Structures are given as C-alpha cells and as structure tokens.
Amino acid sequence: MFDQEVFASQIKGDRFPFPCEGEITLAVRNKNYSLGPVMLHLVMKAGSVIPAHIHEGVAEVLYVLEGDFINEGTQYLPGTSLHVKAGKPHGPHSTEKGCSVLVLDGQSCYAGRQPGRFRTG
C-alpha cells in the first residue's frame, strides 16, 4: 500500500515564482520530506527562459519528460536526466518548442517559495 497517491486531477500548476521570461508553470507533486524527495512538475512554453541561478544548499535532479529542454545552450530531449550539486550555478534554462520536466530535490526552494534559496546571477 502506498502512503500517498497524487493524481493529475489533484494538481494545479502555478506561475513559476522566480524571475523568468515567458509562460512557465510549476506544480508541486510532493513537499512532504518523509515521503521522499520534493517532486515538482515544471512546464515551459515555447520560448520561455529561466535565467542562470543557484540553489543554495540544495542538489537538484531534472528529468526531461517531453519537448526540448535547453541548459546553457545544450539541448536535452525526453529521457535525459541532469544532476546539479548544491550551490553550483546552472542555466539559463530555455526551450524552443516547449517542454515538461520533472524536478527532484531534498529541500526545495520551490515547494516552500523561499526566494533566498533560489538566487539568480
């Protein structure tokens, strides 16, 4: 038996809460650390950009579900996982045709909307 089930009908994507260009949404699928890593669903519409940034104290894993995810000019297609150590600058992230990305981390700056943990520049 599972401790938690989250169905697509229960999830609402909110506007990406940090500096960005274009239409980007973020849906929190899990923010209860006792159930595993924070799980987020990031959707970027065509032409969207998230500037280079740092997650202080938080490692991050990205898994491309659909579309084309571009990081620092390199395009990644569905099935690619990308791993970033805590405190390492990365980005900008962009997409030409739009993309859907699963984001996993242990203590999310996204789930708690803690702007100090997500720093651009």
Q: What is the 3-state secondary structure (H, E, C) of the chain?
A: CCCCCCCHHHCCCEECCCCCECCEEEEEEECCHHHCCEEEEEEECCCCEECCEEECCCCEEEEEEEECEEECCEEECCCCEEEECCCCCECCEECCCCEEEEEEECCCCCCCCCHHHEEEC
Say how many domains are in the chain. 1
Record the tokens describing residue 9, joined without a space: 């009908």
Q: Which domain holds residue 78?
A: 13-120
Reported as a single tens digit per residue, the pLDDT across 28-85 is: 888 888 888 889 999 999 999 999 998 888 889 999 999 999 999 999 999 999 999 9
Averaged pLDDT score across all residues of the chain: 87
63 falls within a domain = yes
Reported as a single tens digit per residue, the pLDDT across 78-118 is: 999 999 998 899 999 999 999 999 999 876 555 444 443 55
3 falls within a domain = no
* C-alpha distance across the termini of the chain, in Å: 44
**pLDDT reported for residue 121:** 58
6 falls within a domain = no
83 falls within a domain = yes
39 falls within a domain = yes
Global confidence as pTM: 0.84
Domain at 18, CATH number:
2.60.120.10
4 falls within a domain = no
